Amino acid sequence: MTAAIGGWLVSNPPSLELATLAYDELVSRGTDLDAGMKFAGAGLEPVGWLSAARHRLHEVFTPDILSTQKKGRLGANIYVMLRHGYTADNGWYGAYVGSTGKTPAQRCTEHRKGLRSARGLPQYGIEPLWSLFDFINPVPNARKGREEWETRLHEALAPIIPKVTGDVAF
């Protein structure tokens, strides 16, 4: 796993989600020293709040809620994009929450290229955090339904992640 972490950290953009998940697993096993050195060598930090955010979302978005509370035609997506540019006090990283009729990968690429992008994402956007949203999708196509689920996701993450940005509809 340590070799994979090193590879994920040198990709462009770095795959911090996978590297952090692997690092967290190694920490739980007590064998994280070399993995920590990979982060240091790349000049990056693990996403310190990722595991807590994943746990929180699986508590909030239970299978029962996902199967009974989505109304209308489903086909849109909500997503979470990892961003940097914050201070150590805020854990270096934050998250942007959005919704789209496109795939999350397409929309995050647009953000990074500056196409209809949220403020700061062309410069600071890193990657989609698949483990924080993929299990929730698809969400309703209708704008109101899509915004409701985007807001739910945003509000579920806000107590865990020091900086969460994006629209909140309600």
Q: What is the pLDDT of residues 42-91, one digit of tens each?
A: 999 999 999 999 999 999 999 999 999 988 899 999 999 999 988 777 77
Domain boundaries along the sequence of the chain: 2-46, 51-165
Q: How far apart are the C-alpha atoms of 107 and 41, rounded to whole Å?
A: 30
Of 79, 69, 97, 77, the C-alpha closest to 137 is 77
Residue 34 pLDDT exceeds 90:
no
> Residue 170 has what pLDDT?
60
> Residue 47 has what pLDDT?
95
pTM listed for this prediction: 0.92
Q: How far apart are the C-alpha atoms of 37 and 5, rounded to whole Å?
A: 10
Phi, psi angles (nearest 5°) of residue 165: -120, 170
Residue 32 pLDDT exceeds 80:
no
